[in-house]
Amino acid sequence: MELHAWVDAYLDHLRVERALASNTVEAYARDLGKLCAHAESQGVMDPKGLDAPMVSTFLVVLAAEGIGARSAARHLSAVRGFTSFLRRERALEGDPCALVERPRIGRRLPKVLGQGEVGDLLLAPDAVTFRGLRDRAMLHLLYAAGLRVSELCGLKVGDVDKKRGLVSPLGKGGKRRLVPLGEPALDALDAYLVLRKDHPGGEGTVLFLSPRGKALTRQGFWKIITAYARGAGIAKPSSPHKLRHSFATHLLEGGADLRSVQALLGHADISTTEIYTHVADDHLRRAYKKAHPRA
């Protein structure tokens, strides 16, 4: 079987057996498509030709094209997953990535909004119209629960337990978690639900409805939050993920422990959550310098 066919088999494995999100599978497809093109340029058409020099020259070619270390590391991760799959399927004997070093990347601190800026953003939607009430409820849930935008847009009515004040988003890998919601988020949701029942699609299970009664897309909500941030006079570039970053950072600034924040965010590895401690440390340093008489 040729290399392209093995890539298709691996993508099916990611999609069906590992239940990865479609956008994640598409990213793997793009990265591995580049690997196949590089292999073919070297006369390699099947997995047996994938070796350490091949993978190393692939990274060199990416660097020559101007791809940064972070993106190159992502490509290498895709190649490692693919070659591991090939070894399990006995289409490849050795590990061509074993001696290939991962490109070194600096740790980029997440950009966050201040608590005042978040407050301005939450007040931006018109709390009278259906669209305004929907957008206000979405912004509140996004910040109150630290949701990914895909989790927010994928919420069903039954995913929110208003009596217990909990939301249960479907996260990466099809895993669910329970996240508490505060009164402001629940109140915003209640106000939206009053109008939702008479909106097209109001009899269905999708929580946040588009004008046509369908689920909002991630791209659609990205445009919505950008417009509200601009209208609220927030100069920083804003996005759904920036509210998730802000959620985590503000929790740590308020004294929450790292393990709790990890659980709320749905991170499998606490090292992913640890990056927020650097942002919170900056906040503590500023507070110390401002308040301590001997700072």
pLDDT band for position 284 (cuts 50, 70, 90): low
Whether residues 54 and 168 share a domain: the answer is no
Ramachandran region of residue 155, left (φ > 0), alpha (ψ -120 to 50) or beta? beta
Q: Quote the percentage of the chain above a pLDDT of 70.
A: 92
Residues 280 and 226 in one domain: yes
pLDDT of residue 65: 87
For residue 213, what is the domain's CATH number? 1.10.443.10
Give the active site residue among 156, 172, 218, 283: 172
68, part of any domain: yes
Cα angle 145, 121, 238 (rounded to 5 degrees) comes to 80
Establish whether 199 is a catalytic residue.
no
How many structural domains are present in the chain? Answer: 2
For residues 239-260, b (16+ Cβ closer than 10 Å) or e, as one string?
Answer: bbbbbbbbbbbbbbbeeeebee
CATH at residue 39 = 1.10.150.130
| 151/220 same-domain check | yes
> Which residue of the set 131, 156, 241, 283 is catalytic?
241
**192 and 80 share one domain:** no
- 104 tagged catalytic: no
Least confidently predicted of 126-135, 240-249, 265-274? 265-274
Concerning whether 172 is annotated as a catalytic residue, the answer is yes
Instruction: Indicate which residue of 13, 177, 267, 283 is catalytic.
Output: 267
Beta partners for 167? 160, 179
Residue 245 appears among annotated catalytic residues: no
Q: Which residue is catalytic, options 148, 196, 245, 250?
A: 148
What does the pLDDT look like over 134-157, one tens digit per residue?
Answer: 999 999 999 999 999 999 999 999
Q: Report residue 209's pLDDT band, with 50, 70 and 90 as the boundaries.
A: very high
- Tens-digit pLDDT profile for residues 153-195: 999 999 999 999 999 999 988 899 999 999 999 999 999 999 9
Give dist(CA 75, CA 136) in Å, integer.
38
Whether 133 and 208 share a structural domain:
yes
Q: Classify each residue of 209-228 as buried b or exposed e, where b means 16 or more C-beta atoms within 10 Å of its C-beta.
A: bbeeeebbeeeebeebbeeb
* 154 shares a domain with 211: yes
Query: In the predicted model, is pLDDT for residue 291 greater than 90?
Result: no
Shared-domain flag, residues 134 and 275: yes
The catalytic position among 242, 244, 245, 250 is 244
- 147 found inside a domain: yes
State whether 81 and 225 are in the same domain: no
Range of the domain at 219: 115-290
Judge whether 267 counts as a catalytic residue: yes
Is residue 244 part of the annotated active site? The answer reads yes
Per DSSP, 97 falls in state T
Cβ proximity of 278 and 245 under 8 Å: no
Q: What is the pTM of this model?
A: 0.65
Task: Tell me: do 268 and 122 sit in the same domain.
Answer: yes
